[in-house]
Structure 1
Amino acid sequence: MKLEVLKNKAWECGFDACGVVPVEILTRERERLERWLGRGFHAGMNYMANNIEKRENPALLVEGARSVIVTLTNYYTSERQHPDAPIAARYAYGKDYHRVVKDRLFKLYSSLQEKDGRKITGRIFVDSAPVFEHEWARRAGLGWIGRNSLLIHPKLGSFCFIGVIISDFEPDSYSSSESRNFCGTCNRCVKACPTGALSPYEVNANLCISYNTIERKDEIPPLIKEKMGNRFFGCDACQDACPWNRGAVLHHVEEFASNPWVMTMSREDWLDMDEDTFKERFADTPFTRPGLERIKRNI
């Protein structure tokens, strides 16, 4: 299959960008991860230390793997929450991206099998397995990794979900990567972080508002509480400060339409909510990950 055919099929499946690169062993990325872990920057995310060898070598995830297909799904919206509403990261405005992106990846995966007329062996990943998604996206020519450690696409910016297919699929040609980093001397994302969690190209999860409001199970430290402001679920500070997001285009994904409850509920509305109401309003959304009790803790 030609590369352009693959990209067209990805577009038909609803993706905003797509690239494919051959499987390689990512020794440099493994070493960088091990240094990050050694500094304790993973905080309570102990799973980050698991299956490092599979992160380094995708062939250990998928036997006989030949290629890594990478997709981007834009989720940017210009909508803003009501001034009285506690602030959530934009990715939580709509449905859970894991399900939405996976559904599209399965469609793309099926279309590859139909086109080649043979069974392709592979697996699909959306932020839920030991995969260096950002590095594969960079290698696939979908952008560069910014100082906030996020992938930045030159037209879409950084408000994108990354989807990956690792398989024995082999296209006629591979994507050419742009290795240049276009952040230049800009340091706005690092300066914008309310808690100082960012150093260039690295995040200290212990200080990160997203980690503390979503992943952290015990009490949030007083230092983080003081600097969270009105944020209660995630944080977009570094992305909002990035000049490459000034021209971000609006998403076209129906499932990411803003949930009116997220946009308008006040602090008191959240604190007064019971479990049944929470499930009714926020089933199949990112809010189910921490659950209502931890959300109330954050607020």
Structure 2
Amino acid sequence: MLSPEKNAQILKSIAQRLGFEACGIAKAGFLEEEAPRLENWLNQNYQGEMGYLANHFDKRLDPTKLVPGAKTVVSLIYNYYPENKLPEDTDSIKLAKYAYGEDYHFVIKDKLKTFIELIREEIGEVEGRAFVDSAPVMERQWAQKSGLGWLGKNSLLLNRKMGSFFFLAELIIDLEAQPDTPLSKDYCGTCTACVDACPTDAIAKAGVVDGSRCISYLTIELKDAIPSEFQGKMENWVFGCDICQDVCPWNRFSKPHSEPKFIPDPELRDFSNQDWIEMTEDTFRKVFKKSPLKRTKFAGLSRNIEFLISND
């Protein structure tokens, strides 16, 4: 049986080999400080129509209820910052950078399956589950607890070396591993760039986002019509939004990813606004065959584009 220190070394070595930019380790247990924050956030109805966020309250706060026998939460960072951005000028129709290429859920989940296989090869029989934004796991809080960063005023995890253009993933396992020291300092200081830049005033206060006002929510999660109060405030985003990240000073440290599957379809690179507006369902299926945009379906994307046009 290996020591917790040795187990931690092996976990971090595997993470590096699989292309994760960072790996943090925390002891699995109840997130006591987060319980009242989560309850208050839900009571404010900041989740909008995302009713699933109110489900599994106990499991969301305690990974040992999600994975019986869990001892460790391994948090992982996977970069998606593009080397070449799609047009993002004032007049261009825009989509969030994380959606340029293939759906990250599948790309990273495959890596996590390999990760668990390698753990078993190098350490022995280990049980657990892998998560990529797919279960009631408070990923940003666990990443902070494992020393990977701090929660910015836009509620995203910020890392001093990388900014915030990355995905988070977790392994919740029954292996004991030496935990990392949580990052207790807030390096945002008095900066309010993200708060000031949000056109829909979605950042209710430092670290608290009213999800029901967020452009990402309005263009992806909201199934009904986009409320008229947001006309003229969408800034041409049709799937997701990067405004609060683009203005964050820490993202000047973002470096291009090295994941071929996140490179945009060549046809998408040449998309003009007219191409977006005139897109047929066949084109949508072809260009976004493996894309996160499939989540909105063609009808949802068309609704978003029509809402922008109606602003003109």
| Alignment TM class, shorter chain as reference | over 0.9
Q: What is residue 7 of structure 1 aligned with on the other side?
A: 12
Deviations, residues 107-150 of structure 1 (Å, cap 9, x unaligned): 11111111112x21101111111011001000111011100000
Q: Give the AA of the match of 2:120.
A: Q
Unaligned stretches of 5+ residues in structure 2: 1-5, 306-312
Q: Choose 281-290 or 258-267, whichever is displaced more.
A: 258-267
Counterpart of 1:246 in 2: which secondary structure?
helix
Q: What is residue 282 of structure 1 aligned with on the other side?
A: 288
Report the Cα distance in structure 2 between the residues aligned to 1:184 and 1:85, rounded to whole angstroms.
33
Q: What is residue 75 of structure 1 aligned with on the other side?
A: 80
Q: Does 1:122 align with 2:141?
A: no
Deviations, residues 211-250 of structure 1 (Å, cap 9, x unaligned): 0001111111122121012111111000011100012111
Q: Percent identity?
A: 44
Q: Considering only aligned residues, what root-mean-square deviation do their CA atoms show, in Å?
A: 1.3
**Pairwise mapping of residues 217-236 of structure 1 onto structure 2 (< 5 A)?**
217-236=223-242
Report the Cα distance in structure 2 between the residues aligned to 1:174 and 1:94, rounded to whole angstroms.
34
Alignment counterpart, residue 61 of structure 1, candidates 58, 61, 66 = 66
Alignment counterpart, residue 44 of structure 2, candidates 19, 27, 39 = 39
Q: What is residue 249 of structure 1 aligned with on the other side?
A: 255
Unaligned stretches of 5+ residues in structure 1: none
**Contact 2:83-2:257 within 8 A present in 1 as well:** no
TM superposition outliers: structure 1 runs of 4+ over 6 Å: none
How many residues align structurally? 297
Q: What is residue 150 of structure 2 aligned with on the other side?
A: 144
Q: Give the AA of the match of 2:97.
A: R
Q: Give the AA of the match of 1:258.
A: P
Provide the TM-score with structure 2 as the length reference: 0.92
Report the Cα distance in structure 1 between the residues aligned to 2:185 and 2:34, rounded to whole angstroms.
17
Deviation at 1:5, TM superposition (A): 2.6
Report the Cα distance in structure 1 between the residues aligned to 2:127 and 2:158, rounded to whole angstroms.
30
Q: What is residue 215 of structure 1 aligned with on the other side?
A: 221
Alignment counterpart, residue 298 of structure 1, candidates 285, 293, 304 = 304
Q: Does 1:88 align with 2:95?
A: yes
**Contact 1:149-1:202 within 8 A present in 2 as well:** yes
Counterpart of 2:46 in 1: which secondary structure?
coil
Q: Give the AA of the match of 1:124.
A: A
Q: Give the AA of the match of 1:282.
A: F
Deviations, residues 24-70 of structure 1 (Å, cap 9, x unaligned): 10122121111011011111100000001001111111110110011
**Contact 1:3-1:175 within 8 A present in 2 as well:** no
Q: Does 1:112 align with 2:119?
A: yes
Q: What is residue 182 of structure 1 aligned with on the other side?
A: 187
Report the Cα distance in structure 2 between the residues aligned to 1:99 and 1:30, rounded to whole angstroms.
30
Report the Cα distance in structure 2 between the residues aligned to 1:6 and 1:122, rounded to whole angstroms.
14
Report the Cα distance in structure 1 between the residues aligned to 2:31 and 2:182, rounded to whole angstroms.
15
Q: What is residue 204 of structure 1 aligned with on the other side?
A: 210
Deviation at 1:273, TM superposition (A): 2.4
